[in-house]
Amino acid sequence: MSNPTPSSPLIRIADMTWYEFADRVKENPIVFLPTGSVEQHGPHLPLLTDVILPVAVAEAVAAEVGGMVAPAVSYGYKSQPKSGGGNHFPGTLSLDASVFIALVRNIVNELVRHGARKIVLFDGHMENAWFLVEAADLALRDQAMLGRTDVKIVKLGYWDFINKATEAVLFPDGFPSWELEHAAVMETSIMLHVRPDLVRQDKIPDDPAAVFPPFDVYPFDTRPIPPTGVLSSAKSSSAEKGAVVLAQVVPDIAASLRTAFASASE
């Protein structure tokens, strides 16, 4: 899989003219809205990692299902110690819940206004998940108030589609947890595959997995947070592993979406 992010204007809404968009939307394609964040990703990955990855995966899935991809929501919900290191790390630019929810809800409503009926909230930042739930719910209510009840929204995190076989490739020594995977093997490997120019390969850290208590403290208790912001070792990352992930995940997500939206139109 050498080209996970084809630049064809038939996939990226950003690159289309309005004439092209108008033609495409008439076919009622699946429309993807990638959502990420500007968040610390250790000494080796760029701040936009959580945007770059879901955009890459979403574009690849869109290519398979004949869908199109809206410009990403680049700013996301506040980074938390257990899943992203925490909002206090320099460069982590986060939104209040109300702003993030309103933004996604608004974009979904706009897509629907122009004819989209199958929308995927394609997340690349774990902290966004529950606020995407709310955005979806509120957008559907808005549409119901306008008399439209034929909209269907799927919300997903691409990592949740990684199967046991791929997990074994990624973590031959045992899987930690998706939350501790922040800036670690999975993310680093996919970045090495899709945007190696942005990975500081000499700075990939090898810290032990962080250990957190079963509660959260505000303001953050920074003591259990690794100083690098990487929640488990990224040492074993490789572009090959990244390629394996995408080669499995992309067709599996595509298949799931075909099923999900097909049942919608029945």
Stretch that binds a copy of itself, among 59-67, 87-95, 185-193, 237-245 (CB under 8 A): 87-95
Residue 8 in contact with a copy of itself, rule: CB under 8 A: no
Told to judge if 179 belongs to the known catalytic residues of this protein, a careful annotator would answer no
- Contact predicate 81/212, CB 8 Å: yes
Clarify whether 142 is annotated catalytic: no
Q: Which residue has the tokens 């290519």?
A: 63
225 binds a copy of itself (CB under 8 A): no
Nearest of 230, 236, 242 to residue 40 by alpha carbon: 230
Phi, psi of 143 (to 5 degrees): -65, -40
Catalytic residue among 59, 123, 125, 181: 125
Q: Following CA atoms 108, 109, 112, 117 in sequence, which dihedral angle do they give, to the nearest 10 degrees?
A: 50
Q: Do 39 and 86 meet the contact criterion of CB atoms below 8 Å apart?
A: no
Site string for a copy of itself, 178-217 (x = CB under 8 A): --------------------x-x--x---------xxxxx
Considering the candidates 39, 59, 123, 181, report the single residue annotated as catalytic: 39
Spatial contact of 188 and 229, defined as CB atoms under 8 Å apart: no
**By rule CB under 8 A, what count of residues binds a copy of itself?**
86
Interface residue with a copy of itself, options 5, 10, 21, 66 (CB under 8 A): 21
Exactly one of 44, 123, 181, 182 is catalytic; which is it?
A: 182
Bridge-partner residues for 30, per DSSP?
A: 118
Catalytic residue among 59, 123, 187, 193: 187
Whether 125 is catalytic is yes
Does 235 contact a copy of itself by CB under 8 A? no
Of the listed pieces 53-61, 71-79, 166-174, 184-192, which binds a copy of itself according to CB under 8 A? 71-79
The residue among 31 and 63 lying less far from a copy of itself, judged by its C-beta, is 31
- Measured distance CA(3)–CA(58) in Å, rounded: 13
CB 143 within 8 A of CB 151: yes
**Among the listed residues 11, 32, 54, 75, the single contact to a copy of itself using CB under 8 A:** 75
**Tokens 């099923």, residue located:** 259
From 5, 10, 66, 97, residue interacting with a copy of itself (rule: CB under 8 A)? 97
Q: How many CB atoms lie within 10 A of CB 202?
A: 7
Among 62, 95, 190, 191, binds a copy of itself (CB under 8 A): 95
127 annotated active-site:
yes
Q: Which is nearer to a copy of itself, 64 or 221 (CB)?
A: 221
- Per CB under 8 A, the list member of 102, 169, 239, 247 interacting with a copy of itself is 102
86-122 burial, b at 16+ Cβ within 10 Å, e below that, comes to: bbebeebebbeeeebbbbbbebbbebbeeebbbbbbb
**3-state secondary structure at position 48:** coil
First-to-final CA distance of the chain? 34
- Give how far Cα 41 sits from Cα of 49, 156, 198, Å: 7, 21, 12
Q: Does 117 bind a copy of itself (CB under 8 A)?
A: no
Q: Which of 3, 8, 27, 130 binds a copy of itself (CB under 8 A)?
A: 130
Which positions are catalytic?
39, 41, 50, 125, 127, 182, 187
